[in-house]
Amino acid sequence: GDGLYTVDIESFAAKPVAVPDDEAFRNISKLYQHGGDLFAVCGLDAKRALWRQHAGKWEQLVGFYECDPHSRFWLPVVPLCPCRNC
């Protein structure tokens, strides 16, 4: 992977998005948008984490080790939970 980019739909010009950890954002498996925030599931295997971009700043919300790795359902649910320790 090569990180996260925005693409201008009219010109198809791509620009990299600034991220807090280039290594973590090298492999992005899912992107969600909810309530104006952008959520990204980044990393591989046991080094996955859920990140949120709010007001232009990224914050790691959940490390993969904090969740059941065998559950397919935790990823869409976590962004809807207002607490840090879901």
Among 72, 69, 75, 48, residue whose Cα is nearest residue 60: 48
Confidence at residue 78, expressed as pLDDT on a 0 to 100 scale = 47
Q: With H, G, I as helix, E, B as strand and everything else as coil, classify residue 24.
A: helix
Distances (CA, A) of 61 to 8, 9, 10, 48, 73: 28, 30, 33, 11, 16
Confidence at residue 80, expressed as pLDDT on a 0 to 100 scale = 46
pTM of whole model > 0.85?
A: no
Interatomic CA distance for residues 53 and 65, integer angstroms: 21
Q: Is residue 49 within 8 Å of 39, Cβ to Cβ?
A: no
pLDDT per residue, tens digit, the chain (86 aa), is: 577 888 999 999 999 888 888 887 888 888 888 888 988 888 776 677 889 999 989 999 887 655 555 555 444 444 444 444 44
Confidence at residue 67, expressed as pLDDT on a 0 to 100 scale = 52
